[in-house]
Amino acid sequence: MTSQTPFAAAFAQAQLPGAVGIIVDRDGVRHAEALGHADVAKGTPMEVDTLCQIASMTKALVSVGAMQLVEQGRLDLDADIGALLPELANPQVLTGFDAAGQPQLRPAARAITLRHLLTHTAGLGYFFIHPQVLQYFGAVGMPVPGTRASVTMPLMFDPGDRWEYSVATDWVGLAIEAATGERLNDYLTANLFAPLGMNQTAFRPALPTEAARVHVRAGAGALSPVEVYLGGGEFDGGGGGITSTAPDYARFVRMVLNQGELEGRRVLRAESVAEMGRNQVAPLRAGYMGSAMPQLAQPFDTFPDQHTGWGLGFLINPERGPNGRSPGSLAWAGIFNSYYWIDPAAGLGGVFVSQLQPFGDPGALAAFGALEAMAYA
């Protein structure tokens, strides 16, 4: 009889619907474990390779795609992105609202660049995080989700002045499309997913029937599936539209650990990977997210006691994390309580996937922490 892993014990304590935990090093998978259910209503078990909505874990994949084009000279990190994306040309900053509730705007002090988009310093926001963005859409009309209009908004501040988590990576995806003339899914499949063997990773028009369902807590320990899908829409949402599996994402983590290469297939130069992992936003602090809609996402801060930075697509912790990760590790998350970390110094990383809202669930974070602690035990 095998004893329960610390990850399984934390999962049981957390009362999550289902979860997958994978620990990797540069050479392969060290540990993989699936627990609970993909759909509690149907009793469908969660498997290691169950398809899930990875939500904002999409952002790192799209960021790598953009850096491939930077290497080729087809995108420029520091040029005015408005030349490629007209909606971002001549940006306006929201200064407030008049007595009638109409937005007041002024021209931005500088242009938006791809570097601003990759570092979430462009001035853009998210309606579920930033009350002023929600108020803006309330004044001008709430756009249809999945449309370009849904990611088109005035800036909250001049580009480069602050860090605020945002729709910026949706625009990175649209920049990839504009630079290549290809749909984002087609570009990433050919240049990232297929070379890395991420064969279950894609932007899909609808949630497949075999995919895990997102759940909410229904009180007294009960869990209930809800119909929510971040994919589909009129463009491939680079900010969060991918469905994937934990093993596929673990291959991406291993590629970063191997400085842009996996099993003989190079998708990015080592220098580009190093640049993505370098703090781009100092002296600003990155990583804190507030909430305008706590039913979707709680206020969140991975390391509230650290002056965290941001690279070209990743959160960076400057000090050792409480569960073992080294200073300079890379990380981020998805809104349905999925998380990953990449520790180049130790050559370790991990992926935790669950399907539960709202984001920032304490039980899910505890289970992810237990998985990470196992990697360094």
Residue 2 has pLDDT above 80, yes or no: no
pLDDT score, position 228: 96
pLDDT score, position 350: 98
What does pTM read for this prediction? 0.97
Q: Could you say which of 126, 136, 165, 187 is catalytic?
A: 165
Mean of pLDDT over the chain: 97
Please report the domains of the chain, with CATH numbers, ordered by start residue: 6-376 (3.40.710.10)
Residue 1 has pLDDT above 70, yes or no: no
pLDDT tens for residues 9-19?
999 999 999 99
How many other C-beta atoms lie within 10 A of the C-beta of residue 77? 18
> Catalytic site residue 56?
yes
Q: Could you say which of 59, 166, 338, 354 is catalytic?
A: 59
> Catalytic site residue 165?
yes
pLDDT score, position 293: 80
pLDDT tens for residues 103-141?
999 999 999 999 999 999 999 999 888 999 999 999 999
Determine if the peptide bond prior to 327 is cis (ω within 30°).
no
Phi-psi domain of 362 (left: phi exceeds 0; alpha: psi -120 through 50; beta: other):
alpha
> Catalytic site residue 136?
no
Are 107 and 92 a contacting pair, CB within 8 Å? yes
